[in-house]
Amino acid sequence: MEITDSVFEQLANLSRLSFSEEEKQHIKSDLQRMVSFIEKLDEVDIADVPPLLFMSNAVNVWREDEVRGSVSNSEALQNAPQHDEAFFQVPKVIKK
């Protein structure tokens, strides 16, 4: 798979990142090398191998429906870059 300009732009958009022209050339070639590295795996025949959905064989790891484990409002907010006494705050997402 070739990392074209349009693939690059789409990935940048999905990641909400923007790059200068110089950065773009650099990252594009990095990405291309990563993709080529992963494509090596295409050589393995996995037609009869079911997809691995989970890293262990565990199935049905359930929780009972019980309330517990919440943190206080101030603990919850303490790592947020921007907040007031009740809410997390982000830049305005709707223009009025």
Partner 1 sequence: MDYSEKYEVVIGLEVHAQLATESKLFCGDATSFGAAPNTHISPITMGHPGTLPKTNKKAVAYAIKMGMACNCEIEKENYFARKNYFYPDLPKGYQVSQHTTPICKGGYVTIKTAAGARNVQLNRIHLEEDAGKSIHDINPDFTCLDYNRAGVPLIEIVTEPDLFSADEAYQYVTEVRKLVRWIGVCDGNMEEGSLRCDANVSIRLKGETKLGTKVEVKNLNSIRNVKKAIEFEIQRMIALVESGGKVQQQTRSFDASDDTTFAIREKEEANDYRYFAEPDLSPFSLSDELLNDIKNSMPTLPAALLQQYIAEYGLNEYDATQLCLEKETADYFSSLVSHTSNYKAAANWMNGPLRQYMNEHKLSFDSFALAPEKLAGLLKLVEEGQLNFSIASSRILPVMIETGKDAATIATELNLLQVSDSNELETWVNGVIEKMPDKVAEYKKGKKGLIGLFVGEVKKVSKGKADPKLVTSLLEEKLK
Binding site for partner 1 (CB under 8 A): 10, 14, 16, 51, 53-56, 58-73, 76-77, 82, 84, 86-94, 96
CB of 72 to partner 1, least distance (A): 8
Task: Name the residue nearer to partner 1 (CB basis): 16 or 22.
Answer: 16
Spatial separation of the C-alpha atoms in residues 43 and 58, rounded to whole Å = 29
In the complex with partner 1, the residue whose CB is nearer, 22 or 56, is: 56
Cα end-to-end distance, the chain, whole Å: 43
Query: Based on CB atoms, which residue is closest to partner 1, 42 or 66?
Result: 66
Environment class of residue 27 by beta-carbon count within 10 Å: exposed (0-12), middle (13-18) or buried (19+)? middle
